[in-house]
Amino acid sequence: MNRVTRNRLLIWIIFVGLANFVSYTMVYWCIGGDAKNGVIRNGVHYIRGHHLQAHAGEFGREAPVSRRVWIYSYIHSISIWPTIAAVLVSMFILARPHIIATMKQDAMIRGTTFVTVGITVVVLVTGASTLYFILDFFRALEIIGSEGTLGTWILGCGGGSHPFIP
């Protein structure tokens, strides 16, 4: 792949990533939170918006939503971490020539080393965060499964303690 094609692809990755951030923020605002911060209580799925101030002036307001909206919200929350990785790695690659030119051999750390370490840290941190969110999502599905719905079908198990249940 030539440099121009690669750079156009990287710019599109950044654009799509920013669009995902905007859509996540808009959905979060419209439904009043997300499932990751929500709870499941007595078979009812609640989203919670601890980053938004509710219309009544309360923080951390809970709102009941359908199971489908709750699952969508959780999956969209998971998607933010790989999106962060894709955007930051794309930015590192686009900026690489400038970083290398600026951080020459007389600098404390060379530009190529800085870029490599930066990309590695981004991938490790966002990868670990993505894995944490995915595992927590499957644990939440187990709780849904204990109530005889989606989690039973996906995981074939249910029950157990979960941080979403008070």
pLDDT for position 39: 82
Total domains in the fold of the chain? 1
The overall average pLDDT reported for the chain is 83
Kindly state whether residue 99 falls inside one of the protein's structural domains. yes
Written as six digits, the tokens of 40 are 């499941």
Judged against a pLDDT cut of 90, whether residue 2 lies above it is answered with yes
> Contact at 8 Å (CB) between 81 and 126?
yes
**pTM: predicted TM-score of the whole model, two decimal places:** 0.77
pLDDT of residue 152: 39
Residue 160 lies in a domain: no
Q: What integer is the mean pLDDT of 73-100?
A: 96
Angle at 126 between CA 122 and CA 127, to 5 degrees: 110
Query: Which pLDDT score, from 0 to 100, does residue 22 have?
Result: 96
Predicted local distance difference test score (pLDDT) of residue 140: 85
Range of the domain at 56: 3-155
Query: What order of strands is seen across the sheet that includes strand 34-41?
Result: 34-41, 44-53, 59-65
Residue 35 has pLDDT above 50, yes or no: yes
Inside any domain, residue 34: yes
